[in-house]
């Protein structure tokens, strides 16, 4: 029984590492696309100044807190009173969504996360995530998890270059 427990602990640790990496790339992707993709640009401009969004996993899992400050999307070091909080119920639920195995809509329908905050504002954020996923994930994955695969305004390579190199 303890081996199964050890296996589960290792599995959760690995899922946590992958989730942290995906959250980082997603944040940087949206940050880049907020200045490059006209659809995300329009959504981002509609957000109120100071909007804070937390994506987190219950029980001390990985998470990220983002805020709109002027024309920039910034990552905050700690969670404060967030306008919107999306809390995945488990590391397994977060892993499925963040690795593109299931879409946000399906995860919501299956009650894999809890939402606190304005649902209309959250839909704007989800639209940005969907567009970012269309750039970051291969088309085979996006066709499976997104209701509508968004057309790209420029190449995925350009987005990844700006995420990791900044050029």
> Is 2 a residue whose pLDDT tops 60?
no
Confidence at 60, pLDDT banded by 50, 70, 90: confident
How far apart (Å, rounded) are the C-alpha atoms in residues 55 and 7? Answer: 26
In a domain? residue 1: no
> Is 98 a residue whose pLDDT tops 80?
yes
Helices (H), 47-155: 91-98, 104-109, 119-136, 139-145
pLDDT at 167: 58
Helices (H), 37-118: 38-46, 91-98, 104-109
pLDDT at 3: 63
CATH number of domain containing 36 = 3.30.1050.10
pLDDT at 142: 83
Average pLDDT over residues 9-33: 93
Closest CA to 12 of 55, 76, 57: 57
For residue 167, how many C-alpha atoms fall within 13 Å in the half-sphere facing its CB? 3
Q: What range defines the domain where residue 78 resides?
A: 13-159
In a domain? residue 142: yes
Q: What is the pLDDT of residues 99-155, one digit of tens each?
A: 989 888 899 999 999 999 999 999 999 999 989 989 998 888 888 887 788 889 999
Give how many domains the chain has, as a whole number. Answer: 1
pTM for the model stands at 0.88
In a domain? residue 94: yes
> Is 4 a residue whose pLDDT tops 70?
no
Share of the chain above pLDDT 70, in %: 97
pLDDT at 8: 85
């Amino acid at each position: 029984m303890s081996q199964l427990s050890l296996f589960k602990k290792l599995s959760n640790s690995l899922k946590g590492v992958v989730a942290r990496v995906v959250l980082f790339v997603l944040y940087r992707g949206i940050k880049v696309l907020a200045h490059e993709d006209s659809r995300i640009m329009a959504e981002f401009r509609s957000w109120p100044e100071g909007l804070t969004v937390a994506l987190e996993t219950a029980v001390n899992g990985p998470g990220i807190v983002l805020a709109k400050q002027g024309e920039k999307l910034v990552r905050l070091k700690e969670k404060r009173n967030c306008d919107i909080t999306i809390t995945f119920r488990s590391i397994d639920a977060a892993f499925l969504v963040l690795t593109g195995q299931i879409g946000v809509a399906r995860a919501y329908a299956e009650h894999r996360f809890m939402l606190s905050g304005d649902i209309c504002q959250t839909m704007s954020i989800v639209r940005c995530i969907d567009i970012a996923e269309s750039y970051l994930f291969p088309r085979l994955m996006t066709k499976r998890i997104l209701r509508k695969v968004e057309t790209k305004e420029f190449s995925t390579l350009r987005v990844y270059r700006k995420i990791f190199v900044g050029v």
